[in-house]
Amino acid sequence: MGFAERLEFFVEIQEFITDSLRMLVLLYRYYRYRRAQLRVNRPRRLLKYSLRNRVPQQMIIMRRLTKINDVSCLDNLRTRNAFGRLCHILHEMGCLRDSKHVSVHEQVVMFLSVLAHNKKNRTVKYDFNGSGRTVNRYFHKVLNVVLHLHPLLLAKPTPVRSNSNCSRWRWFEGCLGALDETYIDVRVRTNDKARYRTRKGSIAVNVLGVCDRDLNFIYVLSGWECSAADSRVLRDAMNRDNSLKISKGCYYLYDNGQAMPIGPFENMVVENVSSSDRDNIEYLISVDANPAWTTWRDELARLMYNAWRS
């Protein structure tokens, strides 16, 4: 075979390889095109879950909430320290564990988004790039752990001592904290909406909350319709099996919407007055200004103010 024949042979081989590469490129492009069309046209239930694409998004979401700045964390999860302590308690004492695709921190964030910010399931699943079933499952999972740890999470009340150094509370000797009611929106059956309708037209339940001086929850009672009086809710809280316990000689602060029981000094006054003398009791209609009383009142106010400033 001469030189010209060998050269022609190599040229034919090069053309064959070039044509083959072009054909492979066309086939690969056609394959990519058909794959994209199938991904768009196939039903949603056939879409495969891609953990490889979701994990970076999970990390971005958690970093945006907890590590970029304090404002975002405070607005969504309160302080970083409180959020970290809550996750640690639920993990170590409540046996809340990481799942295959969702970490403990992300589970707690979903729970707080629904509970603290009243977000809907659709909103949370969009924020965390998950499904509504996933959000619902982990919300109830964290909720069950929190309910299981309620003896640990609810604070134990301690009364204000007579020798308290707190300038704000030392005037309330024996005080355990404060209690009040609030409305929380709920969904009820159509036949029961009248009992749960508030004055503003919303459907809610009347929830009794009791806090200590540091705003830590001591007792919570939920389930009463908003049409029930505050005094009735408080009476039920004190008479049920897991009732609100009040130590002897202690008390809680509350507004005038609650039923005020008769104090011990008032009972003593009633017992010392005989039935024959009740008709001769003189009632005070008005009190005239008294310089001695005014001076004593102003002096007491000045002492309290100076003690508070110091």
Same domain flag for 146 and 180? no
- Last residue of a domain, which of 224, 253, 282? 253
Is 258 a domain residue? no
In the block, residue with structure tokens 């929106």: 185
- What pLDDT is recorded for position 279? 54
Least confident window among 59-68, 80-89, 137-146: 59-68
Q: Is there a contact between 53 and 67 (Cβ–Cβ < 8 Å)?
A: no
Tell me what pLDDT residue 268 has. 46
Label residue 203 by pLDDT band (50, 70, 90).
very high
Same domain, 57 and 126: yes
Look at residue 231 and give its three-state secondary structure: helix
Position 169 in a domain: no
Among 43-52, 71-80, 262-271, the range scoring the smallest mean pLDDT is 262-271
The total of structural domains in the chain comes to 2
Q: Does residue 66 share a domain with residue 148? A: yes
Q: Is residue 24 in a domain?
A: no
Q: How far are the Cα atoms of 153, 209, 266 from residue 220, in angstroms, in the given order?
A: 12, 5, 31
User: What pLDDT score was predicted for residue 77?
Assistant: 85
C-alpha closest to that of 166 among 211, 212, 210: 212
- In percent, the amount of the chain with pLDDT more than 90 equals 16
Q: Is residue 276 part of a domain?
A: no
Q: Quick one: pLDDT at residue 60?
A: 80
Q: Are both 77 and 113 inside the same structural domain?
A: yes
Residue 51, token pair as written in the block: 């953990």
Residues 192 and 155: their CA atoms lie apart, in Å, by: 34
- Within a domain: residue 107? yes
Over the stretch 236-257, which tens digit does the pLDDT of each residue have? 998 888 888 888 888 898 876 6
What does the pLDDT average to over 98-107?
87
Same domain for 233 and 145: no
Position 96 confidence tier, pLDDT thresholds 50, 70, 90: very high
> Does 148 fall in a domain?
yes
Evaluate if residue 104 carries a pLDDT over 50: yes
- What is the number of residues in the chain? 310
Q: Give the mean pLDDT of the chain.
A: 81
Sequence-separated (6 or more) residues with CB below 8 Å from residue 168: 308
Same domain, 70 and 138: yes
258 or 130: which carries more pLDDT confidence? Answer: 130
What pLDDT score was predicted for residue 264? 42
Residue 164 located in a structural domain: no
Q: pLDDT-derived band of residue 164, with 50, 70 and 90 as boundaries?
A: confident
* Shared-domain flag, residues 112 and 71: yes
Whether 145 has a pLDDT exceeding 90, the answer reads yes
Helix pair angle (104-117, 80-92), 10° resolution: 120
Lowest-pLDDT range, 31-40, 144-153, 194-203, 287-296? 287-296
Which residue range is the domain that position 95 belongs to? Answer: 51-153
Average pLDDT over residues 278-287: 53
More confident residue, 57 or 303: 303
Q: Which one, of 93, 217, 238, 90, lies nearest residue 154 by Cα?
A: 217
> For residue 158, what pLDDT is reported?
87
Q: Is residue 301 part of a domain?
A: no
